[in-house]
Structure 1
Amino acid sequence: MASTTLLKLASAIFMCMMVAAPHAEAAMNCGMVSTNIGKCIPYLTGKVISPPTACCAGIKTLNSKASTPTDRKTVCGCLKTAATAMKTLDFGKAAGLPGRCNVRIPFAISPKTDCSRVK
């Protein structure tokens, strides 16, 4: 009797997992942002003249993965924190980086950006 109940419980849990699995997506976090934006540091600190190809690829990846308002706010906050922390960052280059990579993002990369207003 107990094994039948246990089997039913396991089956119910499995069914819930199968229903929820397609909806479970990894939320954006600062680690993901750092990984994708890291190749941009030489450009943003003036060590190279133009954004490396890997930098633009990272910006495009972030833009495509940040598909919800919550994800975009997270990316914005991570970029804002990073911009504030880097003392040698050229804020003009940071603000212009998406355009240089032919990507449109809904906020400016700046320590002054109000990420709570990102949609």
Structure 2
Amino acid sequence: MLRFSSVVLVAVTLVILGNLAGIECNTKSDCGVAETAFGMCVPYMTGEERNVLPYKCCAAVRSVKELSPTRAARRETCECLRRLMAQVGRVDGRRARGLPGACRVATNVIPTSLDFPCYRLA
């Protein structure tokens, strides 16, 4: 039988992911794909999950990196994720900054704050 806290965590995660469905999660563009994939990291970045989940969030970080092979693509993906973070709200910048290292994915595409300068990405 599931403990009450596990049920609450699952419910909160479903609510967050359900809310993301209303955030232009169209998978017809690379931005839509990046938003949809990166949605798996939102519960960690908002503090709902204590640890990065490798099979969800880290897979999403890898997907985001793969969507960004060029300078222009990195900037576009970063802007897309920054807009997603603005819509989600209370994102922990420290957690966002640590995602690539925690997932062992070398990428600088993930914005760490709402004023992150995506236009400076090389």
C-alpha distance in 2 between matches for 1:73 and 1:28: 15
Are 1:117 and 2:120 counterparts? yes
Of structures 1 and 2, the larger Rg is shown by 1
- Are 2:76 and 1:70 aligned? no
Aligned residue number for residue 34 of structure 1: 35
Report how far residue 108 of structure 1 moved: 5.2
| Matches of 1:67 and 1:48, distance apart in 2 | 29
CA contact (8 A) 1:107 1:113 kept: no
Number of the residue aligned with 2:87: 85
CA distance in 1, matches of 2:97, 2:29: 21
Q: CA deviation at 1:50?
A: 0.8
For structure 1, list consecutive stretches of 5 or more residues without a partner in the other structure: 1-26
- Residues 62 and 107 (structure 1), Cα distance of their counterparts in 2 relative to 1, 3 Å cut: closer
Aligned CA distance change for structure 1 residues 115 and 28 (closer, same or farther; 3 Å) = farther
Structure 1 distance, partners of 2:32, 2:52, is: 21
Report % sequence identity: 30
Contact between 2:65 and 2:109, CA under 8 Å: does it hold in 1? no
**How far has the Cα of 1:100 moved from its partner?**
1.0
Counterpart-to-counterpart distance in 1, 2:29 and 2:103? 21
The aligned residue for residue 5 of structure 1 is none
RMSD of Structure 2 on Structure 1 (CA): 1.9
- With normalisation by structure 2, the TM-score equals 0.67
Shift of 1:44: 0.9
